[in-house]
Structure 1
Amino acid sequence: MPNSNSQIPLAKQSPRVVIVHDWLTNMGGAENVVLALHEAFPSAPIYTSTYMPEKMPAFQNLDIRTTYLQKLPKPIRKLHKFFPMLRVKAFQKLDLSEFDIIISSSSAESKQVKKTRPGQIHICYCHTPIRYYWSHYNEYRKDPGFGKLNWLVKLAMPIIVPSLKRADYKAAQAVDVFIANSSEVQKRIKKYYGKSSTVIHPPVDVNRFTPARERSDYYVALGRQVPYKRIDLAVSAANKLGVNLKVYGNGSEHEKLVEMAGPTIEFFTDRFGDASDDAVTEALNNAKGYIFPAEEDFGIVQVEALAAGAPVIAFGKGGALDIVQDGESGILFDEQTTESVVEAIKKAELTNFLPGTLRRKARRFDKGLFITKIKKIINDYS
């Protein structure tokens, strides 16, 4: 018989996890990361500064908790991006003491959340150190992407950004573990925050796509139509070559892009002003190629294009270097100019890309791998 004094070891309790995201007002790659994090930890509530459920149907049945900014009148709340210091304060005020592990999904202020008791761990999945403070301040100062309000933002940036940078740096020092979404972001985390990080690429639903063997005669450009996305380069290159281009998305540059487009270019948006998933899936499944002129932190749509069998014509900086192998899964160009995009399209036209091979290359970014890697990090700190 066992010794009466022996103790049966208690089963290890799962840590209580919470997910914190900058804002939930439009769908994008970062929001898909949040959904995958929730799939990994389905009991975790999601905190965010502001939430627009009508634009976020994928979050409809999840436990979404907001900051006090959600109580602002809707017209003011919709302008939340003008008030970063309010978001800093809002995240700092959150009481997350009931949770053991805080996972912030951050390209802005969500990393400002505070640990409130011993033993808590803050893991930051960093989409990038805040671009308009650190890596791309000069570009944003030149063209902030607020349309008619650009003049106001340009005046305000030199006044408010220095203190916001200090607050962002201080918050980064309190993070226990950084996860970078790409090799480029890993470099930025080290450069601007002085912190080491592990790269885990964002999750991509590669099974959403079914590549057509016989490709159509058009290229695709896709994304928020804001200055740094440089969709104007795809439009001007298509104009110059006279190739068919389908442009999906919307943003402050939309009217400008429409005005400059020639007869071979079509624009598509849905009722929310963006591109619907079904339309994008169908377009990429049949596209001759995907044009990606931006320097992006990662660039999930590049992986989606490969999963759909479309080679990627991309600016050879940032996250593209983790995704595209020049001459194998696409063509990389060195300068953000119309001429460089034109030459890259010409090279792509002369290269034989096999849709099945491109799809296999996309599988290394599958959502299942992301979830496995995230769970391992959480287990290591539990």
Structure 2
Amino acid sequence: MLDRLRVAVVHEWLVDYSGSERVLEQILLLFPQADLYAIVDFLPDELRGFIQHRQVRTSLIQTLPFAKTKFRQYLPLMPLAIEQFDLSGYDLVISSAHAVAKGVLTGPDQLHISYVHSPIRYAWDMQHQYLRESGLEKGLKSWLVRWFLHQMRLWDTRTANGVDFFVANSAFIARRIQKVYRRSAAVIYPPVDVTNFDLCEQKEDFYLTASRFVPYKRVDLIVEAFSQLGDRELIVIGDGGNAKELQAIAGKNVTFLGYLPPTELRKYMQRAKAFVFAAEEDFGITPVEAQACGTPAIAYGKGGVLETVRGLDCDRPTGVFFAEQSVESLKSAIMLFEQECDRIQPSNCRDRAMHFAPERFQQEFSNFIAQAWAARAR
């Protein structure tokens, strides 16, 4: 029945292959007949396989000056741009949203399901953190940005009314949806390609973190904590704008390897004593990937990671949480992990990660859409 529907899939922007794109990939596999829409499409040729080399229908922003490298600067135009997609010819519209995709216009005879990675973080509860990290706490430019974010919240709230059913990528995001839209959301965890990460039960004497170097990832916290501990080796994989600042605060026990291709990253994940994760994420894919390798997580105990890692208070634990984004809290968690690590078995980590396999996502998402379509028909 679902294969006979006329389907449109709307994604924010196509520039790389990361967390939200993995969800998009599975949705397109479920609906090979779907047409794909995006604000912009600048995917390089070598990444177009995950969208099955489809032609993407883009917005007016695609043609604006410097859009390929500066498309995010056009955020004020994106609500208008997303509303210009004519989706009137489709039975089912699926939006994959973390900014504006859910704002597409649909009619009363269409079913609109929005898979939400997060409501617009920097417009809602993370506004003050965004302003602080961007150096926009004071001045005229600060007030202009605050006014724009206020207008974005109004638009974001209004367009929630055009969604028939919300799906959240974690219970944490479902609570955020309830808070900002006053709507309930089903929870369907995103797919993680766990089969690409082989179990390794022999661990070496080093800790690992891997991330983009952006402020909210809190790599600085991890580097500083291990630098203070001194006698525990930390390997840092990733790159970003503040790499030099991180290297400046690092002790001799901290090694930076820069960006590594996925095959090399997996080797380090397999051999690490533990994977350290300090961000507050909506879901958090890398701790799941580490667990797929049989590697425990030492993670900040907030956000989606509470749903993917089993703490020491659980049967068959797979990691340790720290309560605050502070150096002392992380150091205490490292000490606790070393005291209790015998309780955390690589096989249990692997079993936990398998819960997030792509096959599970496809089954749950297709069942949800079938039920939603049936409910609409009644």
Out of 326, 349, 352, which is 1:361 matched to? 352
1:250, CA displacement in angstroms? 2.4
Measure, in 1, the Cα distance between the counterparts of 2:48 and 2:139: 34
Percent of aligned positions that are identical = 35
User: How has the CA–CA distance of structure 1 residues 152 and 278 changed in structure 2, closer, same or farther, with 3 Å as cutoff?
Assistant: farther
Which secondary structure state, in structure 1, belongs to the residue aligned with residue 367 of structure 2? helix
1:92, CA displacement in angstroms? 0.6
- TM-score, normalising length: structure 1: 0.89
1:167 aligns to 2:122 (yes or no):
no
Note if contact 2:270-2:295 (Cα within 8 Å) is conserved in structure 1.
yes
What CA deviation, in whole Å up to 9, does each residue of 1:146-169 have, x standing for no partner?
9xxx99974542121111110111
Give 2:365's aligned residue.
374
50-59 vs 129-138, which moves further: 50-59
Give 2:246's aligned residue.
257
Give 2:268's aligned residue.
283
Give 2:311's aligned residue.
326
1:18, CA displacement in angstroms? 1.9
Give 2:192's aligned residue.
204
Measure, in 2, the Cα distance between the counterparts of 1:305 and 1:260: 26
Measure, in 2, the Cα distance between the counterparts of 1:141 and 1:263: 33
Q: How does 1:44-193 map to 2 (within 5 A)?
A: 44-54=34-44, 56-59=47-50, 61-63=52-54, 64-73=56-65, 75-115=66-106, 117-144=107-134, 154=142, 156-193=144-181
1:111, CA displacement in angstroms? 0.9
Measure, in 1, the Cα distance between the counterparts of 2:250 and 2:320: 23
1:215, CA displacement in angstroms? 0.6
Unaligned runs of 5+ in 1: 1-10
Unaligned runs of 5+ in 2: 374-378
Which secondary structure state, in structure 1, belongs to the residue aligned with residue 207 of structure 2? strand
Which secondary structure state, in structure 1, belongs to the residue aligned with residue 240 of structure 2? coil
What CA deviation, in whole Å up to 9, does each residue of 1:91-115 have, x standing for no partner?
1101122221111111111111111
Give 1:5's aligned residue.
none
Note if contact 1:53-1:59 (Cα within 8 Å) is conserved in structure 2.
no
AA in 2 matched with 1:296: E
Give 2:295's aligned residue.
310
Give 2:376's aligned residue.
none
93-102 vs 124-133, which moves further: 93-102
Give 1:213's aligned residue.
201
User: How has the CA–CA distance of structure 1 residues 45 and 251 changed in structure 2, closer, same or farther, with 3 Å as cutoff?
Assistant: farther
Note if contact 2:208-2:272 (Cα within 8 Å) is conserved in structure 1.
yes
159-168 vs 80-89, which moves further: 80-89
Note if contact 1:145-1:252 (Cα within 8 Å) is conserved in structure 2.
no
Which secondary structure state, in structure 1, belongs to the residue aligned with residue 37 of structure 2? strand
Measure, in 1, the Cα distance between the counterparts of 2:371 and 2:224: 49
Which secondary structure state, in structure 1, belongs to the residue aligned with residue 124 of structure 2? coil
Note if contact 1:69-1:77 (Cα within 8 Å) is conserved in structure 2.
no
Note if contact 1:248-1:268 (Cα within 8 Å) is conserved in structure 2.
yes
Measure, in 1, the Cα distance between the counterparts of 2:91 and 2:257: 44
Note if contact 1:25-1:56 (Cα within 8 Å) is conserved in structure 2.
no
- What value does the CA root-mean-square deviation take over the aligned residues? 2.2
Measure, in 2, the Cα distance between the counterparts of 1:195 and 1:241: 45
Note if contact 2:3-2:31 (Cα within 8 Å) is conserved in structure 1.
no
AA in 1 matched with 2:146: P
Which secondary structure state, in structure 2, belongs to the residue aligned with residue 46 of structure 1? strand
1:176, CA displacement in angstroms? 0.6
1:241 aligns to 2:229 (yes or no):
yes
Measure, in 2, the Cα distance between the counterparts of 1:226 and 1:306: 23
Note if contact 2:226-2:234 (Cα within 8 Å) is conserved in structure 1.
yes
1:12, CA displacement in angstroms? 8.1
Measure, in 2, the Cα distance between the counterparts of 1:344 and 1:13: 49
Measure, in 2, the Cα distance between the counterparts of 1:12 and 1:317: 37
AA in 1 matched with 2:81: A
User: How has the CA–CA distance of structure 1 residues 296 and 13 changed in structure 2, closer, same or farther, with 3 Å as cutoff?
Assistant: closer
Number of residue pairs aligned between Structure 1 and Structure 2: 364
